[in-house]
Amino acid sequence: MKLENFIRSIPDFPEKGILFRDITTLLNNPEAFRLAIEEMAHLFKDKKVEVIVAAESRGFIFGGALAYKLKSAFIPVRKPGKLPYKTYRVSYDLEYGKDSLEIHQDAFKKGARVLILDDLLATGGTAKAIVRLVKKLGGKIIGVLFLIELTQLRGRNKLKGLPVYSLIKY
C-alpha cells in the first residue's frame, strides 16, 4: 500500500494556481491512516521522543496519534487567542499569506527531546515558526516530520541544520 495513492489533488484551491493535497482521503481509510502513523513511529522508535509539538489543525490529527504510539507528550501549537494560559507568539509567512502561532510558556521543560510534526511542508514558514517557539522554550529538536513534502517549494531550506523527514514527496 502506497500512502500517496490516498492523497487527493485539488487544483486551484484555496486560490487559483495552488494544487492542494487533500489528506482527508487518507484519513477516511483506516488502513492508510494506520500505515501513516506506523511509518512515522518507525522513523522515531529509537529516538526517545519526549514531546511531540504539532500545529493546528491537521498536525493535531497525526500528532495525537503518534504521541500515543510513541508514549510521548503532545503539545498543541495554535492560532492566536486559542490557548488559555500565558503564551509565546511568532508570526510567519505562508505560501499565500501571513499568520501567527502560539505555544504555552510552560508547554515542556527546557532540554526536552522534541519532535515537530505537521501534515505538509510547503514553503516552510509554519515549520520554521514552530522551530522558533520550541527553541524559545529550550527544547532539543530531534526531528521535523511531515506526511507530505512539496519539494518544488523548497521549504526544507528554512529548516537547515535540522533533521527533516517526510513520508510522501511531490
Bridge partners of residue 99, in order along the sequence: 92
Contacts of 16 by beta carbon, 8 Å cutoff, 6+ apart: none
Give yes or no for a contact between 139 and 107, defined as CB atoms under 8 angstroms apart: no
Compute how many other C-beta atoms are within 10 angstroms of the C-beta atom of residue 130.
Answer: 26
Instruction: Tell me, yes or no, if 78 is annotated catalytic.
Output: no
Give whole-number Cα distances, 34 to 1, 30, 38, 119, 152, in Å: 11, 6, 6, 15, 28
Q: Which of 39, 95, 113, 156 is catalytic?
A: 95
| Residues facing residue 169 across a β-bridge | 149
Candidates 39, 56, 58, 156; catalytic one: 58
Is 58 catalytic? The answer is yes
Residue 44 is placed in which grid cell?
A: 522515531
Q: Residue 2, exposed/middle/buried by CB under 10 A (0-12, 13-18, 19+)?
A: exposed
Residues labelled catalytic:
58, 95
